[in-house]
Every structure is written in structure tokens, then in C-alpha cells.
């Protein structure tokens, strides 16, 4: 790959700007559909962009008693993590920009950077809402991360590779949602947990702890965290759609499949009440992990025979 | 914020907090996620109404007291009217009493729908919140059609009511009730069967019958703990003597029971309103009251949507009350909620708080903004106010 | 138990001991108990509670004005539709009342209100802090007394009330 093409791929398409734009569009779809189910009007199409721009031009207030470098650096790390994860997934139905054996694991860790960044940002401040939010964020990471990872590894096992592009190629011929339905459910709900969508929004439950870990953030830092979340929404949807919904071969299929997944997620958000943090952990370890283990057992039995 | 190390980790909730739609201040000391100590401070919405009432005539007070609470405004005006009528030794005619009860029951429907939305929101169940508030618009429209106002209906006069009920209005109320009853049936199904929602309500904030009695809980909060305290049944007032109601009781005492009791009360309200519309007694809408009310004391207790409202009015024979005391249901239930929160998860606290349907502006009535009500306060132009703000902070910085 | 029986029981509770407190029936459904000595207040309340005669609906403070030079405190108990009113007279200066918190926990809010609005000192209160009035409210000013000067409220924000 020549340097110019790599730069283009990183900054303009499919990464960088177009990924940010896609993030905002998906965020709008999420909010608009949820509003529809709530019987509300919902935001206009440019609202997420307007929100992001407004936050970006606002003064950033750095509270007393924080480590300045961390306070400013963490949002950047979080956004960068989400953006770099995009390099390894088949965005817009195109082949991943970069690929090497084992990049599935890298993607999953890059996607976790956002949550980790939020947790650290919360513990960095002295505010008690932030501290409780951060505790909840990090507690939640430990509950959904393992089942989510194991679900995706189930796909890697049948594809015989830990590379996202090879798994996608394999998934293009086999619809894994049919052969591994349990893994799919856990991966999709795990994605909701990663994105802290209802019912997994205890870390930012505003009726209890205002804005959770991000309570002290304003202006640029908050904008970066929000953008990172939007980007992660797109990347996560792409990953789950590529692995379980028969690969992503063209931009049209990409849009159809990811939006279908988003629709399911919106429906779940509207249907379910928020779980308490202890209930979230209980749900993941009692049911999530168990479902994945059952999936693994079936896989092993089939592979043996 | 208080010191973290001395008292454990204290989470302040309020006076400005997203969980509270009104100002109150709570401090919860937590150990991890478990609440170990709770403290309450009120007074942020103090308006000095009890003192202000002593400076106003009997008629003016009717309008002042309607503004004690924005949600259950009618019941305050009604309690005051009944107290003054009791002092003057007159009774409003039956038709007026029936219309008073009609508005009171519509207000109860309005209040319970509002409460259901708020507490669903505290549980992070925004879908129920949005839908119940949409349906609340129906009953607000009905009230507007009947009285001309969506809130602060101003239906009462001393000695009667202000308006009559037309046949067309009765029909629109019946239609509205049909819609609301069908929706309410759906909500009862949701709150008693939705597994995720039950996780947040079942067995949470349990108040036993003995606790409810000792702490003096009132209204639906008490009835959910099987304490049969409903003044519409125990001590019927206005037209409740002619149109009796059945009490909704539950013995579980948790949040789920508080949801169910309130929703079952809605059905009773629908039935009662239909019955009043069918059998509205004919006659006058009011009687005349003297300008000076004979000396004496009157105590009136009414069943507001949130529980018992208590009014004490003392007259010295003049043209204004000597003393007026308002006790709203929230103050009775607040003591219980502060005790109930201890031992629960922090995540359950907003739900437990919302479970009693707290109303802080009802609670906080006295003194602070008295000067504005008597017109003695300073008036400031926008420019002055802005400059004042700038000066204030400049002074503080220096 | 109907209203009549409740009120008869209540008056027996008061009369049962050799107390000086007087009982009166101003109108049907209401019983007034004039507590003559503060020492008898808590025992009467305990007696009413033991017989399960209603819950404490409210405690009302009254300022009878400088001319009479007395405060009156009404404890209203409401069993069913009946009303039992305990009436206590206090001097305007150095008014002291025993707290009912030990018997009735919910009395605390009413007593805190009495303390800050009427300047009645309540002994035995668990949290004697202010409930309604602002933190910078001057000591010794009781807004619900008849001789309260509302001009006091005309202070600018941020300045101390004098």
C-alpha cells in the first residue's frame, strides 16, 4: 500500500472523516428510531452534528484536583481507540484497510479503550458522581467483556482464523446467525453493554449519578467521548454484522445489515428498564457466560463428529 | 460537599439533581453501592404561604392556596373552602359538591399518570414515561374543557363552584375516560408483568404495616402497606357521602404494590366520575358567605392524590384568617422514605423517593419569598438584574 | 369502633389517672384535651398510642399575640373521622416543649418546624437543625409569631440578614 493511499484511508475514507460522519448518522438513526418508539418526534437529521460542533467550540472547564494531562488526554485516547479499530473491520462492505492474523483480538481491545478511558476519566476527578460512575463503568466492563469475546471467538474457531477478514470471508458462505444463534445474541447484547445503552446504562444513570464518569467533562473532552461512542457504534455494528450476518460484500448490504441490527437494538432499548449494576453483573455471568459456554459445547461436539 | 473521610462516602442528591424535578436536598452515605445513612433538608421552595395567608382576606386566600401545589391545586382550594364553610356554618349545595368531587377525581387521574411517568423514568424505563405522559394530556384536555385551565383549575368558590357541567362536556369526559381506562388496563399489565421492570420494583423499599403506622405514612403509600387510610372512605367529605368509593389495598408494601394500588385507584376514579356524570344532582351552584367569618377553629382533612391533606384554619371574627396551617401528604411520607432508603442500593434510591410521589413545593411553604407576595419586594429591570449579577460575582472574586 | 366510642375511650384515657388535664367536647366528633402541665403531655400521648387512637396528623403552633402573651400548641390526632386535639399553652418567652420523637417518629418534622417558626425550644430532638428556613436566617427571629417584621426580608442577595 503506498503512503498516500494509506493516508487517504486513515483520514478520509473509510476511516477518519467519513467514519465520523457515519457515526453521527448512526447516532441520529438510533435517536430517531428510539424517539419513534417512545411516541416522540425525535431530533432532526443534523442534530448529532450540531451537538458535536456545539461541544467542540465550548470552553473546556478543567476542574480542580485532577491530573491535567490525563483529563485532556483520555478523551483523545478513547476516540483514537475507536477510530483505529475501524481500520481492521470491513467498513462500508469493503475489505478491511489493514489486516494481519490475529487482528480480531486487537479490534476487541481497541474497542474497549473507550470504556476504559471513560472509567479512568471518572476516577481522575474528585467528583463523587464521577467516582461512582467510574466504578460502575469498570464493573460493567468485567461483566460483559468476557462473554462478548468468547462469543466472537466461537466464530473464529469455525472459520479457523483469528483474522477479521478471513472470518468475514468464511461468514460470506455460512450465515453464522443460523449456526451460532446463541453467540449472536450474546455478541449483540454485549455490544449494547459496550455502548452503555439501556438497559445497561447504570454507569451513566442520570437519575442517580447525573452523568456518571463524565459528569465533570464539558466542551471538547465531552465531544470526543461522544464522538468515540458514535464511532464505536458503527464499528461494533459492522463487526457483528460481518461475523454473524453473512459477511459484508457491498455498501448496500452493509447499510441493510447494520441498520437491521440497529433496529433490533433500538427495540430492546425501548422495551427494557434499566438494570441495577448488580443485576447487570448477575445477568452477564449467570446467563451471558452460560449461553456462550453452551454454544462452545455444541461447537466442540460438532467439530468432533 | 462534606468531608469524604469523616462520614464515609456521601452522595448529595439535590437541591439541583436530575432525579429530582423539584428542589430538596438529600445526603446519602454509601458503602460501595449500599446506603448506610440518609439525611434530608427542605426549604428550597419556601414561599411563606402560611404567613402570607394571614395578611389576605378570606376570598384572596382561595387563590393563594390554590397555588400551594401545581399538581393537586384543586384539593388545596377545596380544603380551604370546606374549612371556611365550616367556620361560617354553611354548606355548599349538592350539585356544587358533586362538581368539586368530579374535578378532584380528574385531578387524581392526572396526578397518578404523572407519577407513573416520573417513577418509570427513575427506573430508566423511558418508554412507559413517554406513553403515560402522552395519555395524561387527555385528562388535562378534559380539565381544560371543564374549567378553562390545564393546571390551577380555580373551580372552587367559597360556598360553591364557579361553573356548571354541560351535557356536551359530560360526553367528552365519558369518551376521554373510555380511552384512559383502556390505557390504564395496559399499564396495570405492564407494571405487574414486565419482568425487567419487576426487577426494579418487586421487594424494593418494603414498608411493613407496623412501620407505616408508626411513621405516619398516608395515602397510596400507606395503602400499599395495607394501612386502610383513605379519607374518602373513613370520613367522607363533599359528595363522597353520596358517591362512595372502595379503598384499594395491598399487603406487600413494596414499590410494585405502590404502583398497583395507584393504578387500581384509577379504575375507581373512572367509575366514580361516570357515576357522578350519570347522577349529577340538580340545584344551585353556590351559597353566599358573609365577608366576616365568625370566630372559631376548623380542621379539614381531605384525600389528595398523594395522601391526606390537612388544613387548620382559625378565625378571630375578622375579614382575614388568624392562623392557617397546611400539612401536605409528602411531609408525612418523607420521614418514612428517608428511613426506608437505608440498606438499599443507591440505584434504588430514586425509585424509592419517587415511590411516595414527593411534592416539595407542597412541603415548603413558609417565609423566604414573602416580600414578593406582599408586593414589598424590589422590582428590577432585566438590565439591573444583569448588572447586579456581574457585581455580585465581582465582589465574591475580590 | 364508631366515632363516639373512640372519643369516649380517649377521654377515659385522659381521666384514668389523677391528672389535672381537662377534657371538653366542643362539637360532635371532636375532643379537646387541655394539657395543664407539660409533664402530662408525653404520658397522654403514650396512652393514646397504646389504645391505638389515631395517628398524629399535625402539630399546629398558634401565637395568641403579645396582648395575651402566650403561645398555644395543638397536637391533632385523627382516628377515623374523629379528631382529638391536645392543647398546650406556653409563655412566649422561654417556651419549652418535650419532644414526642421517642413515641412518634413522625413528630420530628413538626417539632423542628415549631422550633424555627415559633421559637419553641424542643428538648430531646434527634436532629435539632433547621428544616425549612435558610442557613443564614438570623437567630431569635421567628416568622410565624405575630410581631414578626416582614421588612426583615428586604435584604439583597449575598448580604447577611440583619
pLDDT digits (tens, 9 = 90+) for A222-271: 899 889 989 999 989 988 888 888 777 778 888 888 889 999 999 988 88
Say yes or no for a CB contact (<8 Å) between A273 and B18: no
Distance CA A176, CA A298 (A): 13
DSSP category for residue C161: P
Residue B271's pLDDT band (boundaries 50, 70, 90)? very high
C7 assigned to some structural domain: yes
Residue B2's pLDDT band (boundaries 50, 70, 90)? very low
Range of the domain at C108: 3-148
A29 against B6, higher pLDDT: A29
Rounded to a whole number, what is the distance in Å from the CA of A135 to chain B's nearest CA?
A: 9
- The residues near C102 (Cβ < 8 Å, ≥ 6 apart) are C124
For cell 411493613, name the residue.
B208
Judge whether B37 and B29 are in contact, CB under 8 Å.
yes
Average pLDDT in the B264-275 region?
A: 91
Q: What does the pLDDT read at residue C38? A: 83
C157 assigned to some structural domain: no
For chains A and B, having 3+ Cβ pairs within 8 Å is answered yes
Distance CA B121, CA B115 (A): 10
Number of folded domains that form chain C: 1
Average pLDDT of every residue of chain A = 84
Residues of B in contact with A38 (CB under 8 A): 126-127, 130-131
Average pLDDT in the B340-361 region?
A: 74
Model pTM? 0.82
Asked if B206 is an interface residue toward chain C (Cβ–Cβ < 8 A), one would say no
For B:344-363, CB contacts with A below 8 A are 345-350
From the list B42, B216, B392, the residue facing C106 with the nearest CB is B216
A6 against B362, higher pLDDT: A6
CATH of residue C142: 3.30.460.80
Give the residue numbers in C contacting B (CB under 8 Å), as ranges. 30, 55-58, 60-63, 74, 76, 78, 80-81, 83, 85, 104-106, 108-110, 117, 127, 129-134, 143-144, 148, 150-151, 153-154, 156-158
- Angle formed at CA C18 by CA C14 and CA C23, multiple of 5 degrees: 35
Q: What does the pLDDT read at residue B80? A: 92
Rounded to a whole number, what is the distance in Å from the CA of A38 to chain B's nearest CA?
A: 5
Residues of B in contact with A205 (CB under 8 A): 124, 347
Q: What does the pLDDT read at residue B365? A: 41
Q: Please name the chains neighbouring A, where neighbouring means 3+ C-beta pairs under 8 angstroms.
A: B
Residue B178's pLDDT band (boundaries 50, 70, 90)? very high
- Does a cis peptide bond (omega within 30 degrees of 0) precede residue A14? yes
Say yes or no for a CB contact (<8 Å) between B124 and A39: no
C156 assigned to some structural domain: no
Run of H or E residues at A159: helix A128-159
C155 assigned to some structural domain: no
Residues of B in contact with C129 (CB under 8 A): 41
pLDDT of B99 > 50? The answer is: yes
Q: What does the pLDDT read at residue B270? A: 92
- Between strands C30-35 and C83-91, the pairing is parallel
From the list A40, A201, A207, the residue facing B19 with the nearest CB is A207
- Identify which of A100-114, C17-31, C138-152 has the greatest average pLDDT: A100-114
Residues of A in contact with B196 (CB under 8 A): 199, 271-273, 275
- Does a cis peptide bond (omega within 30 degrees of 0) precede residue A199? yes
C112 assigned to some structural domain: yes
C161 assigned to some structural domain: no
Asked if B47 is an interface residue toward chain C (Cβ–Cβ < 8 A), one would say no
Say yes or no for a CB contact (<8 Å) between B18 and A207: yes
- The residues near A187 (Cβ < 8 Å, ≥ 6 apart) are A148, A151, A152, A240, A243, A244
C63 assigned to some structural domain: yes
**Is B21 in a helix, a strand, or coil?**
coil
φ/ψ of B151, rounded to 5, equals -130, 170
All three cell numbers of B56:
389576605
Which residue is closest to A267 within chain B, CA to CA? B127
Q: Of C111, C153, C92, which is closest to residue B52 (Cα–Cα)?
A: C153
Which domains are assigned to chain B? Answer: 49-326 (1.10.645.10)
Say yes or no for a CB contact (<8 Å) between B392 and C158: yes
**In chain B, where do the E strands start and end?**
9-13, 25-31, 34-41, 156-157, 160-161, 296-304, 307-315, 321-327
Judge whether B15 and A133 are in contact, CB under 8 Å.
no
A64 against A248, higher pLDDT: A64
Which residue is closest to C72 within chain B, CA to CA? B323
pLDDT digits (tens, 9 = 90+) for A123-161: 888 877 888 888 888 888 888 888 888 888 888 888 888
All three cell numbers of A30:
438510533
C159 assigned to some structural domain: no
For B:274-303, CB contacts with C below 8 A are 299, 301
Rounded to a whole number, what is the distance in Å from the CA of B28 to chain C's nearest CA?
A: 16
What are the percentages of helix, strand and coil residues in chain B, rounded to 5?
A: 50, 15, 35
Which residue is closest to A199 within chain B, CA to CA? B124
For cell 344532582, name the residue.
B281
- Surface-to-core class of residue C55, CB atoms within 10 Å of its CB (0-12 exposed, 13-18 middle, 19+ buried): buried
Average pLDDT of every residue of chain B = 80
Q: What does the pLDDT read at residue B373? A: 31
Sheet (strand B321-327) strand order: B296-304, B307-315, B321-327
Instruction: Work out how many CB contacts closer than 8 A connect B with C.
Output: 101
Average pLDDT in the B377-382 region?
A: 46
Average pLDDT in the B24-32 region?
A: 77
Amino acid at each position: 500500500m503506498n503512503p498516500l493511499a494509506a493516508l487517504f484511508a486513515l483520514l478520509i475514507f473509510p476511516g477518519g472523516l467519513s467514519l465520523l460522519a457515519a457515526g453521527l448518522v448512526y447516532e441520529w438513526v438510533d435517536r430517531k428510531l428510539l424517539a419513534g418508539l417512545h411516541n416522540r418526534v425525535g431530533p432532526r437529521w443534523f442534530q448529532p452534528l450540531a451537538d458535536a460542533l456545539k461541544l467542540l467550540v465550548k470552553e473546556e472547564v478543567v476542574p480542580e484536583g485532577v491530573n491535567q494531562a490525563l483529563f485532556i488526554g483520555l478523551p483523545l485516547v478513547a476516540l483514537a481507540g475507536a477510530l483505529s479499530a475501524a481500520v481492521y473491520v470491513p467498513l462500508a462492505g469493503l475489505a478491511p484497510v489493514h489486516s494481519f492474523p490475529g487482528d480480531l483480538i486487537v479490534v476487541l481491545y481497541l474497542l474497549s479503550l473507550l470504556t476504559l478511558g471513560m472509567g479512568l476519566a471518572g476516577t481522575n476527578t474528585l467528583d463523587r458522581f464521577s467516582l461512582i460512575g467510574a466504578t460502575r463503568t469498570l464493573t460493567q466492563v468485567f461483566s460483559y467483556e468476557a462473554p462478548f469475546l468468547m462469543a466472537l471467538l466461537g466464530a473464529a474457531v469455525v472459520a479457523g482464523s483469528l483474522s477479521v477478514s478471513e472470518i468475514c470471508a468464511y461468514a460470506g458462505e455460512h450465515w453464522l446467525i443460523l449456526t451460532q444463534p446463541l453467540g449472536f445474541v450474546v455478541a449483540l447484547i454485549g455490544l449494547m453493554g459496550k455502548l452503555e445503552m439501556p438497559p445497561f446504562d447504570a454507569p451513566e444513570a442520570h437519575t442517580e449519578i447525573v452523568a456518571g464518569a463524565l459528569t465533570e467533562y464539558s466542551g471538547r473532552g465531552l465531544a470526543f467521548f461522544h464522538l468515540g461512542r458514535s464511532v464505536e457504534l458503527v464499528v461494533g455494528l459492522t463487526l457483528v454484522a460481518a461475523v454473524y450476518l453473512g459477511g459484508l460484500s457491498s455498501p448496500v448490504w452493509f447499510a441493510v445489515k447494520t441498520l437491521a441490527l440497529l433496529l433490533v437494538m433500538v427495540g430492546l432499548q425501548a422495551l427494557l428498564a434499566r438494570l441495577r449494576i448488580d443485576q447487570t453483573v448477575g445477568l452477564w455471568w449467570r446467563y451471558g457466560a452460560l449461553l456462550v459456554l453452551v454454544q462452545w459445547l455444541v461447537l466442540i461436539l460438532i467439530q468432533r463428529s | 460537599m462534606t468531608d469524604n473521610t469523616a462520614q464515609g462516602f456521601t452522595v448529595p442528591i439535590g437541591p439541583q439533581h436530575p432525579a429530582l424535578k423539584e428542589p430538596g436536598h438529600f445526603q446519602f452515605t454509601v458503602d460501595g453501592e449500599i446506603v448506610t445513612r440518609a439525611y434530608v433538608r427542605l426549604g428550597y421552595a419556601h414561599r411563606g404561604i402560611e404567613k402570607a395567608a394571614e395578611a389576605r382576606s378570606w376570598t384572596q386566600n382561595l387563590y393563594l392556596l390554590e397555588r400551594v401545589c401545581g399538581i393537586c391545586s384543586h384539593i388545596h382550594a377545596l380544603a380551604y373552602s370546606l374549612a371556611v364553610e365550616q367556620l361560617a356554618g354553611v354548606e355548599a349545595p349538592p350539585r356544587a359538591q358533586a362538581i368539586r368531587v368530579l374535578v378532584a377525581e380528574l385531578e387524581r387521574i392526572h396526578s397518578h399518570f404523572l407519577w407513573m411517568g416520573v417513577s418509570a423514568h427513575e427506573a430508566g424505563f423511558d418508554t412507559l414515561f413517554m406513553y403515560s405522559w402522552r395519555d395524561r394530556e387527555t385528562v388535562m384536555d378534559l380539565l381544560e374543557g371543564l374549567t378553562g385551565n390545564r393546571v390551577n383549575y380555580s373551580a372552587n368558590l367559597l360556598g360553591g363552584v364557579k361553573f356548571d357541567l354541560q351535557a356536551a362536556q359530560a360526553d367528552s369526559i365519558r369518551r376521554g375516560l373510555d380511552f384512559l381506562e383502556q390505557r390504564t388496563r395496559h399499564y396495570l399489565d405492564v407494571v405487574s408483568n414486565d419482568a425487567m421492570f419487576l426487577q426494579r420494583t418487586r421487594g424494593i423499599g418494603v414498608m411493613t404495616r407496623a412501620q407505616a403506622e408508626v411513621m405516619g405514612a398516608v395515602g397510596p403509600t400507606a395503602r400499599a402497606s395495607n394501612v386502610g387510610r383513605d379519607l374518602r372512605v373513613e370520613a367522607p367529605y363533599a359528595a363522597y357521602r353520596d358517591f362512595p368509593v372502595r379503598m384499594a389495598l395491598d399487603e406487600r408494601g413494596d414499590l410494585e404494590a405502590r404502583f398497583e394500588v395507584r393504578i387500581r385507584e384509577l379504575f375507581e376514579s373512572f367509575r366514580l366520575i361516570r357515576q357522578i356524570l350519570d347522577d349529577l344532582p340538580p340545584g344551585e351552584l353556590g351559597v353566599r358567605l358573609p365577608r366576616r367569618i365568625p370566630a372559631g377553629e376548623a380542621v379539614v382533612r381531605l384525600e389528595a392524590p398523594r395522601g391526606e391533606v390537612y388544613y387548620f384554619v382559625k378565625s378571630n371574627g375578622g375579614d382575614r384568617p388568624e392562623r392557617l396551617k397546611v400539612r401536605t401528604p409528602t411531609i408525612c411520607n418523607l420521614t418514612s422514605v428517608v428511613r426506608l432508603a437505608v440498606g438499599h442500593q443507591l440505584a434504588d434510591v430514586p425509585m424509592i423517593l419517587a415511590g411516595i410521589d414527593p411534592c416539595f413545593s407542597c412541603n415548603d411553604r413558609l417565609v423566604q419569598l414573602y416580600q414578593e407576595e406582599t408586593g414589598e419586594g424590589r422590582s428590577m429591570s432585566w438590565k439591573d438584574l444583569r448588572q447586579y449579577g456581574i457585581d455580585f460575582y465581582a465582589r465574591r472574586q475580590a | 369502633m364508631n366515632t363516639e366510642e373512640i372519643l369516649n375511650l380517649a377521654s377515659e384515657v385522659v381521666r384514668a389517672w389523677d391528672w389535672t388535664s381537662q377534657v371538653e367536647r366542643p362539637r360532635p366528633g371532636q375532643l379537646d384535651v387541655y394539657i395543664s402541665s407539660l409533664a402530662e403531655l408525653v404520658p397522654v400521648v403514650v396512652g393514646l398510642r397504646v389504645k391505638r387512637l389515631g395517628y398524629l396528623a399535625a402539630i399546629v403552633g398558634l401565637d395568641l399575640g403579645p396582648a395575651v402573651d402566650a403561645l398555644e400548641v395543638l397536637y391533632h390526632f385523627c382516628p377515623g373521622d374523629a379528631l382529638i386535639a391536645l392543647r398546650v399553652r406556653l409563655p412566649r418567652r422561654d417556651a419549652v416543649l418535650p419532644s414526642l420523637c421517642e413515641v412518634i417518629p413522625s413528630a420530628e418534622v413538626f417539632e423542628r418546624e415549631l422550633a424555627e417558626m415559633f421559637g419553641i425550644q424542643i428538648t430531646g430532638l434527634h436532629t435539632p437543625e433547621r428544616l425549612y428556613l435558610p442557613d443564614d436566617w438570623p437567630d431569635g427571629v421567628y416568622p410565624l409569631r405575630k410581631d414578626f417584621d416582614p421588612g426583615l426580608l428586604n435584604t439583597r442577595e449575598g448580604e447577611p440578614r440583619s
